[in-house]
């Protein structure tokens, strides 16, 4: 399998982000659909979701994988969909695990400490103006502890046509540290991955809409208020040229302002002017990524694998 991995450089600036000779390594395999990786610096380990199996796994420096949480996204037994588990995982400023829970249709915090994990959750938010959220997908904290997140329908058994869907849109939100939930955008059909620029001045949202695949950029005017929405990168020509193997999904931005964005056939690397610089070609449906210790390694959740590659 590793023979098909490669680093593609599309612009010389890409050499500032990654060495084309870096090896893409399989760290773990045998899962159903891996997602939502997060590097836990207090402990030097990676957590990631396996959504269909309703689990969070822990991968340590010895490449040992254990079940960290089960259930991770659905506490009840009556669920007929294929994605009951957690999706995006985050660690807040207090060192607590925050989960985007498909089955529970909530953003939740694990109440026990991360060193003693148990599936005991506190819902931070599960509704907008009294109507249930769809299925929170991915999120990012700003420096003040406000949480930006997306809410597509992927966790609902029938997605857009699900009879249990209470909202008539798929939102991009900001949950303020005060507990107030603000709607930022209700016009994206399938908002998915989300991240903030290192200086918190910009919000980026991936849209996994096969009819109009793109990454969007917003100016953050103040916490929970955005303006000047624009297309950061239009993925449609790329898909037409390359063929479909994945849509815009999870993304992260390094401290040196390079965006690592999962998309067609791997992870695309952009500068923040929207120029495509390189691709980490996995040949897999690659859902999300996480920056590791000191941002020297990128972890990738790709179908039933967890991969890594050294970056600059």
Per-residue pLDDT reduced to its tens digit, 83-118: 899 999 999 999 999 999 999 999 999 999 999 999
- 43: CB partners within 8 A, 6+ apart: 114, 115
Percentage above 70 pLDDT, the chain? 98
Residue 239 in this model has a pLDDT that exceeds 90: no
Record the tokens describing residue 188, joined without a space: 């994206």
Residue 202: what pLDDT? 98
| pTM, entire model | 0.96
- What's the angle, vertex CA 194, arms to CA 91 and CA 245, rounded to 5? 115
Q: Do 86 and 49 meet the contact criterion of CB atoms below 8 Å apart?
A: yes
Domains and CATH numbers, the chain: 2-310 (2.120.10.30)
The β-bridge relationship of strands 25-29 and 305-310 is: antiparallel
Distance set, CA 253 to CA 146, 181, 196, 284 (Å): 18, 25, 7, 21
- For the ranges 1-5, 19-23, 100-104, 229-233, the lowest mean pLDDT is seen at 1-5
Sign (positive/negative) of CA torsion 98, 205, 277, 264? positive
Tokens, residue 73: 């996204």
- Over range 136-145, report the average pLDDT: 98
């Amino acid at each position: 399998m590793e023979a098909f991995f490669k680093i593609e450089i599309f612009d010389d600036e890409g050499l500032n982000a990654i060495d084309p000779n870096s090896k893409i390594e399989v760290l773990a395999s045998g899962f159903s659909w891996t997602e939502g990786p997060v590097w836990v610096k207090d402990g030097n380990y990676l957590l990631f979701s396996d959504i269909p199996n309703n689990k969070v796994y822990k991968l340590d420096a010895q490449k040992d994988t254990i079940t960290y949480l089960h259930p991770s996204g659905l506490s009840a037994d009556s669920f007929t969909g294929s994605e009951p588990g957690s999706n995006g995982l985050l660690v807040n400023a207090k060192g607590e695990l925050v989960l985007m829970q498909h089955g529970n249709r909530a953003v939740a915090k694990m109440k026990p400490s991360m060193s003693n994990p148990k599936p005991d959750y506190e819902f931070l938010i599960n509704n907008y103006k009294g109507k249930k959220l769809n299925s929170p997908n991915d999120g990012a904290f700003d420096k003040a502890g406000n949480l930006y997140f997306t809410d597509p329908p992927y966790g609902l058994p029938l997605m857009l046509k699900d009879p249990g869907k209470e909202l008539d849109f798929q939102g991009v939100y900001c949950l303020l540290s005060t507990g107030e939930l603000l709607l930022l955008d209700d016009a994206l059909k399938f908002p998915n991955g989300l991240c903030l620029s290192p200086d918190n001045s910009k919000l980026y949202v991936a849209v996994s809409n096969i009819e109009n695949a793109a990454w969007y950029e917003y100016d953050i005017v103040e916490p929970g208020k955005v303006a000047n929405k624009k297309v950061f990168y239009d993925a449609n020509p790329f898909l037409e040229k390359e063929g479909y193997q994945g849509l815009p999904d999870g993304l992260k931005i390094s401290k040196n302002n390079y965006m690592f964005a999962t998309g067609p056939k791997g992870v695309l690397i952009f500068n923040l002017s929207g120029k495509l610089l390189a691709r980490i070609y996995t040949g897999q449906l690659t859902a999300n990524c996480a920056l590791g210790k000191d941002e020297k390694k990128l972890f990738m959740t790709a179908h039933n694998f967890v991969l890594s590659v050294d970056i600059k």
